[in-house]
Amino acid sequence: MALLDEYEMEEHEYTADPNHWSGYVAVLGKPNVGKSTLSNQMVGQKLSIVTDKPQTTRHRILGVCSGTDYQMILYDTPGVMEKRMHKLDSMMMKNVRSATVNADCVVVLVDACKVPEKIDEVLEEGVGNQTESLPPILLVMNKKHLIKPGEIAKKLEWYEKFTNVDEVIPVSAKLGQGVEDVKHIIRMYLEFHDIVCEHPERFFVSEIVREKIFMQYRKEIPYSCQVNVVSYKTRPMAKDFIQVEIVVEKNSQKIIVIGKEGRALKLLATAARLDIENFLQKKVFLEVVVKVKENWRQDEVLLKNYGYGGQIQAF
């Protein structure tokens, strides 16, 4: 079974380029502030699920943002939650904390449309009680295109006065406005060394399927689903074969996911396959099955097996 959130890395010997900045960047914030949208814009490719539902991101998403003289390793983390109903929720918050342990810079997103508020809760989840060796913090006011320039200026002034951050910058991640400024500021905090990393395509295949679940089903169904890539076979003379399992907690949920005469599952698989082919730039044969594992969100062994243990992979 695929262990989601495990990244297969290759070690490379290299000579550090004294003119090359590299480092790790953790992107934090409450649900629906635009963390995934910003990360996708910075990377220049859709790597994180983006929907209007909270807690769409479950795992730390690894994205690599590279330029001629820099390389940023981005961790797009789950939104910081106030209420935790399942063991899954608590383990997701461990992922938030572990993503920032070795970060060279922390980016905290806030919604520019909302009344300014202190970010202590987000920082506490992200960096804990660290008082020494705290990484530089960049506060990003997202969705600036939805408010007037005068309001932006007032909120910018408030955050600069009442939050202990190194920089405050307004952006519109959706429109791409200010994204290059964010990258420029982050680069100032990176170190002189090189980083080379890879991430398995199967992880993003599972995320694409999960995104389609969020878009197609309502209420509790998307939150009760876990997506695992069971098999991924590259076939040079034919379409790549990908087998995916959707895990739910109840048989009644399985019936809903499959739908009458399998129509709902077929619709889901078709939508996912088209996006997967676009992402991989190749044709694939996608097989999707649905399985029931009762109370998987409360099963710590299963959660760790699904990649929610919060461990940081060594680079």
Non-local (6+) Cβ contacts of 114 within 8 A are none
Confidence of residue 13 (pLDDT cuts 50, 70, 90): very low
The HSE-up count of residue 166 (CA atoms within 13 Å, CB side) is 13
pLDDT at 248 over 90: yes
pLDDT tops 80 at residue 229 = yes
Across the chain, mean pLDDT equals: 77
Would you tell me the crossing angle of helices 179-188 and 35-43 to the nearest 10 degrees?
80
Residue 31 has pLDDT above 90, yes or no: no
Query: Tens of pLDDT along 86-143?
Result: 555 555 555 556 666 667 888 999 999 999 988 887 676 545 555 456 789 999 999 9
Over pLDDT 70: what percentage of the chain?
70
Mean pLDDT computed over 182-191: 86
Using one digit for the tens of pLDDT, what is the confidence trace for 151-176?
A: 999 999 999 999 989 999 999 999 99
- The overall pTM is greater than 0.85: no
Domains of the chain: 21-192 (3.40.50.300), 201-305 (3.30.300.20)
- Give mean pLDDT, residues 10-16: 37
Give dist(CA 80, CA 151) in Å, integer.
Answer: 26
Nearest residue to 55 via CA among 200, 274, 288, 213: 213
Encoded tokens for 302: 């299963």
